[in-house]
Structure 1
């Protein structure tokens, strides 16, 4: 079995003028495969400055890449390693017979990688034009854009295999409406267009300081058996899409009879030819559907990593009747989201001990429940 064809690596830049940091990251970046996504993480706390810095990133990336521009996202999360700006680069190994095309709809750029029977789509930085609108309106606007692009590419909604959802002040309320619940209701409305025969996408729903709603998507669709896709559940956790109303907060969307659940799987495996990738969703210290309470950052970090390790273990995968192709899975890269700067050192000691060979980014972000201190996501392969 070959290594993962979808590769993530990160570059860091020390504090400097913002434009200079962006140019330095781009100039230092030496892709080994086709770059399909660049995600920038920076310490910005108001929407005016966020828009200005996003425009700088887009301008510099356009100059640097020309007509082969990766999709660009800017996430308002402070890097916790002292960096002024972090750039995470996602690259794809192009297989024989595949064609790469760079496309756009309005101001939304995306990439397709197509062979005779398979299409991959990479879409990023999808956001509403007006960050002053309600989070419900922004969420519906974002999914309208995603829907139109999928329709243009003749890809069904259920072809989405990985989704990143960045939500400003994720657990905050506007009146009776929680930002995260409003987003989940809009996502549920959008997902209702599809039957999801291979399960929902792997996903992360994480907070950011500003920026409204930003969504990144990887999708893949085949008209034959070229692609094998499996949803991976975790026997230690209730599936997020099966949560009870007890762990959902805020007023429901009037389109629904009750608050809708977060529609994602704990992980999603994609196999094409001899390549496999496992997208590990944002994972926290939850057992069943309940958070581990009053145990501190050390135990929450330990429990989170235990959840991930069991999730991608041979035991858990075989338990679900999923074919296992003979090699264990291991995280190759991860993001560690922490609720407070003070948690950084205690969490990092544990992460680096247990994931010593995993490339990690540490970021300041609210997690989807107030009591959760840490969340980890990643990409695994054989």
Structure 2
């Protein structure tokens, strides 16, 4: 239903760069965070033309009080920069307790500004009428609220920010959805409701009402240890033409067509079926002079079935094969025959691994395949209990 290409507008093709900042010391969280932030600040001071448009801080926290304490320390440093950021409760590989993944653009070529829209922090990249908005930290971690309530609060905050900036859900190109204990179940309305399904229902409510164009955003739906529901997204508006195309994978069923047998938990009373996740496997942006490809969170799924049960190496290889199929020139040309400039370089790769002890194994496989690319490895639950690895990425020409 929401497939094909659409026209939006753009004057220049942004080519972001990503950097990962890891503490150089082994010590307490306070010591590691101070060292990590100092490395980040040193980069900003050393390269004044490199302006950050978003930052993700990954932390390992064992309980809400610990997460709250860590978040306060992180916010006290990053708030002063104006950069939109999220504090994500996904543990880096031990002994690292905290790290920063940040995206940068060269301000010698474009303009970047920071602001607040309602309660949401954002950055705006502008060049010759092209506007790219990045939003981070949009969410609710209030204790006592259900996942459904937290999801609704996150989307409501995002909508408020969009309305203040004069944009809408049709402009959203890439989205990240962090859901606490994503595949756990909660007793709601005397039914066993999965947290991911509760999030998907709210996403569907907002998309059904406010998303009127063709296609869904590229997206990642991933589990976190704490902090409820957090959304990040990138939206685009402009005054010159670019083609955007929803890219599917011939080896995988589109997520929004998943059958009920792979969607877990009871549906809500008002619905006969569970709501499948709504995202494209990837989205391509091109204007003839360049291209970018946003690769959604990808796992070891063929058709709609999980491949490589209890075998992390098998799942890592199948996931990489799925990405290879997705980004191949043959597949991109099949979706958009007029494409002339192909994305051929990875700007970043982020790898989610369910079990921390598997990170070294997955890291070797990914480094051998992707090469010298900024890569982040974190411990996180994937959207299915039997999935052990998920990989997302962005490619540029």
TM (norm. structure 2) is: 0.88
CA pair 129-354 structure 1, distance change in 2 beyond 3 A: closer
Measured after TM superposition, the shift of residue 193 of structure 1 is 2.3
Give CA deviations for 1:306-361 in whole Å, capped at 9, x if unaligned: 10111011011112235322445242321111111222232222112111222211
Aligned to 1:136: 148
Cα contact 2:316–2:365 (8 A) shared by 1? yes
Q: Which residues in structure 2 correspond to 1:157-168 (within 5 Å)?
A: 157-168=169-180
Measured after TM superposition, the shift of residue 94 of structure 1 is 4.3
Residue 82 (str. 1) matches residue 86 (str. 2): no
Q: What is the CA–CA distance in structure 2 between the aligned matches of 1:101 and 1:345, rounded to whole Å?
A: 38
CA pair 278-141 structure 1, distance change in 2 beyond 3 A: same
Q: What is the CA–CA distance in structure 1 between the aligned matches of 2:379 and 2:301, rounded to whole Å?
A: 20
Aligned to 1:112: 124
Q: What is the CA–CA distance in structure 1 between the aligned matches of 2:176 and 2:230, rounded to whole Å?
A: 8
Q: Secondary structure at the match of 1:8?
A: strand
1:173 to 185, 199, 202: 185
Aligned to 2:133: 121
Q: What is the CA–CA distance in structure 1 between the aligned matches of 2:149 and 2:138, rounded to whole Å?
A: 14
Q: What is the CA–CA distance in structure 2 between the aligned matches of 1:310 and 1:172, rounded to whole Å?
A: 31
2:264 to 237, 243, 249: 249
Q: What is the CA–CA distance in structure 2 between the aligned matches of 1:283 and 1:20, rounded to whole Å?
A: 34
Residue 20 (str. 1) matches residue 31 (str. 2): yes
- Unpaired stretches in structure 1, ≥5 consecutive residues: none
Q: What is the CA–CA distance in structure 2 between the aligned matches of 1:51 and 1:359, rounded to whole Å?
A: 28
Aligned to 2:55: 38
Measured after TM superposition, the shift of residue 74 of structure 1 is 0.7
Q: Which residues in structure 2 correspond to 1:194-343 (within 5 Å)?
A: 194-225=210-241, 227-254=242-269, 256-271=271-286, 274-294=289-309, 296-327=311-342, 329-343=344-358
1:187 to 203, 207, 217: 203
Q: Secondary structure at the match of 1:192?
A: helix
Cα contact 2:64–2:226 (8 A) shared by 1? yes
When the two chains are superposed, the root-mean-square deviation of aligned CA atoms in Å is: 2.2
Residue 7 (str. 1) matches residue 17 (str. 2): yes
Aligned to 1:72: 85
Q: Secondary structure at the match of 1:368?
A: coil
Give CA deviations for 1:74-124 in whole Å, capped at 9, x if unaligned: 11111125312110011123475x543322144421122345643211110
